[in-house]
Amino acid sequence: MVNPHPHFDDKGTLDWQTRYAEALAAAKAQGKLVFIELGRLQCSQCKTLVQNIVTRPDIAPVLQQHYIALAADADDSEDEVIDLAGNLDDAYMLPFVMFCDANGAFLGGSSGQVNPLSFANTVKKLAGLSS
């Protein structure tokens, strides 16, 4: 059963975790990386990311095969997620998009409006699918 995103409809694209420890455990068990969307219900850019970008045919399969998705709520953030966000340069606007390995090591990310092509390149590069 696919866990829906807690705020937005991604049309069943990803199986969303809502707790950091559970996302890491799933990533370890499945040999995947973790994609973190730190946002809130009132964030239009967060909605765009979840509903229009992760669902793209050039992005969804890569996320499904290589990542565990974590929907982190900016209004009820876990300390570990906030610590990861501290790695983002000039992070001031939601969504905070972050990637980490199954041990929680920060791999990259961004804040603010997500460019679909840059996002696609990042998820592919981190998954080892492009240089």
Phi-psi region of 72 (alpha: psi -120 to 50; beta: other; left: phi over 0): beta
Q: State the pLDDT at residue 1.
A: 63
Q: What integer best gives the mean pLDDT of the chain?
A: 95
- List of residues 6+ apart from 109 with CB closer than 8 A: 36, 84, 85, 87, 88, 96, 97, 98, 99
pLDDT digits (tens, 9 = 90+) for 41-97: 999 999 999 999 999 999 999 999 999 999 999 999 999 999 999 999 888 899 999
* pLDDT reported for residue 75: 93
pTM given for the model = 0.96
pLDDT at residue number 63: 98
Place of tokens 């990042």: 122
Over range 33-43, report the average pLDDT: 97
Domains identified in the chain and CATH numbers: 16-126 (3.40.30.10)
